[in-house]
């Protein structure tokens, strides 16, 4: 396991592997690694000959300086965890390595895919930051495949758009959301929840399950959304959004008649959390 800090070192380390015809797998992260990240690293390990994990808290995707300052940084533990899950190389650059003096270029994905949900709440700079850093990391690593988590569903849609539009030669793989045993989606931000807020945070996954339960009982999207909102309200949580949306376009839907996601974002105490699930249509009457 090696840690590299510069793009030049990274390319030097990978060149002989690539020349030998080895497949490079890549997992981009912001560190503070947990089981969600490790599941992606294991998947990359299973599907590649050499696995690169990046650990970079990308300043350009944070709309809130306090959130950036409070973001957990645990590099030593991250390196050990990444190695234990099968990483060969950790790429952990300083911001100046990716954003050189005079930096003036960014990647923007326009339209509803970046203007809704996280884009609406965090401002348009958020997905510019994500699209730019993912592009730069993919150019630096040059992987055959890169693994992303379904937990950040809108990010996956944006990354797929970037890869298609720029013709980047990489396969995008998506791993399922990993949850705590009680249902809370794992997130690097969970460590900032007080014990009381940690309990209240369960309302997010409960709300998403309530959406599915309502759909199972024949509810349309509006009624299913209301069921989810009621779960959140019971814990005094008013979400930034709770929507049922088309999984490909993220446009709101009126009924669950295709692949639909239920997505939620809410502040629990000082911590902003997001979660989503795939909602499946109710089984036809008689089949239940």
Name the token pair of 162. 């970037």
Least CB distance to ligand AMP at residue 15 (A): 26
Residue 283, CA atoms < 13 Å, CB-side half-sphere: 3
Residue 37 a catalytic site member: yes
In this complex, which beta carbon is closest to ligand AMP, that of residue 114 or of residue 229?
114
**Which residues are bridge partners to 246 per DSSP?**
260
Q: Which long-range contacts (CB under 8 A, 24 or more apart) does 77-82 make?
A: 77/33, 78/29, 78/31, 78/32, 78/33, 79/1, 79/3, 79/55, 81/33, 81/37, 81/38, 82/1, 82/33, 82/37, 82/38, 82/41, 82/53, 82/55
In this complex, which beta carbon is closest to ligand AMP, that of residue 76 or of residue 254?
76
Give the Cα separation of 259 and 273 in Å (integer). Answer: 23
**Which residues are bridge partners to 89 per DSSP?**
2, 52
Q: Is 144 helix (H, G, I), strand (E, B) or coil?
A: coil
Site size toward ligand AMP (CB under 6 A) is: 17
In this complex, which beta carbon is closest to ligand AMP, that of residue 82 or of residue 214?
82
In this complex, which beta carbon is closest to ligand AMP, that of residue 36 or of residue 129?
36
User: Which residue has its beta carbon closest to ligand AMP?
Assistant: 149
In this complex, which beta carbon is closest to ligand AMP, that of residue 44 or of residue 227?
44
78 touching ligand AMP, by CB under 6 A? no
Least CB distance to ligand AMP at residue 185 (A): 5
Least CB distance to ligand AMP at residue 9 (A): 22
Least CB distance to ligand AMP at residue 252 (A): 22
Question: What Rg do the C-alpha atoms of the chain give, in angstroms?
Answer: 20
Interface characters, 79-118, with ligand AMP (x: CB under 6 A): ----------------------------------------
Q: Pick out residues in 131-190 that bind ligand AMP (CB under 6 A).
A: 148-149, 151-152, 175, 177-178, 185-188
Interface characters, 17-36, with ligand AMP (x: CB under 6 A): ------------xx-----x
Q: Which of 34, 37, 101, 126 is catalytic?
A: 37
Cα angle at 284 between 282 and 287, to 5 degrees?
A: 110
Q: What is the DSSP letter of 252?
A: B
Whether 55 contacts 31, CB under 8 Å: yes
Whether 131 contacts 152, CB under 8 Å: no
In this complex, which beta carbon is closest to ligand AMP, that of residue 24 or of residue 27?
27
Least CB distance to ligand AMP at residue 219 (A): 27
Known catalytic residues are 37
Applying CB under 6 A, the residues found at the interface with ligand AMP are: 29-30, 36-37, 39-40, 148-149, 151-152, 175, 177-178, 185-188
């Amino acid at each position: 396991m090696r840690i590299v800090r510069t793009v030049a070192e990274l390319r030097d380390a990978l060149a002989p592997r690539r020349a030998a015809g080895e497949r490079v797998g890549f997992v981009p992260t912001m560190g503070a690694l947990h089981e969600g990240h490790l599941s992606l690293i294991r998947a990359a390990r299973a599907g590649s000959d050499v696995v690169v994990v990046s650990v970079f808290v990308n300043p350009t995707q944070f709309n809130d300086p306090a959130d950036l300052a409070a973001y957990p940084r645990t590099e030593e533990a991250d390196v050990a965890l990444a190695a234990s899950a099968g990483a060969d190389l950790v790429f952990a650059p300083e911001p100046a390595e990716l954003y050189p003096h005079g930096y003036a270029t960014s990647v923007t994905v326009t339209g509803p895919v970046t203007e809704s949900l996280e884009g609406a709440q965090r401002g348009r700079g958020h997905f510019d930051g994500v699209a730019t850093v993912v592009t730069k990391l993919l150019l630096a690593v040059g992987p055959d495949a890169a693994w992303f988590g379904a937990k950040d569903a809108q990010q996956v849609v944006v990354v797929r758009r970037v890869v298609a539009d720029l013709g980047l030669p990489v396969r995008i793989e998506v791993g399922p959301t990993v949850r705590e045993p009680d249902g809370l989606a794992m997130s690097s931000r969970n460590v900032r929840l007080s014990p009381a807020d940690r309990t209240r945070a369960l309302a997010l996954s409960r709300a998403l399950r309530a959406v599915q339960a309502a759909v199972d009982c024949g509810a349309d999207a509006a009624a299913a959304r209301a069921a989810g909102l009621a779960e959140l309200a019971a814990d005094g949580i008013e979400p930034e959004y709770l929507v049922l949306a088309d999984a490909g376009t993220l446009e709101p839907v009126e009924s669950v008649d295709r692949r639909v996601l239920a997505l939620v974002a809410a502040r629990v105490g000082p911590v902003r959390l997001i979660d989503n699930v795939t909602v499946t249509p109710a089984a036809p009457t008689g089949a239940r």
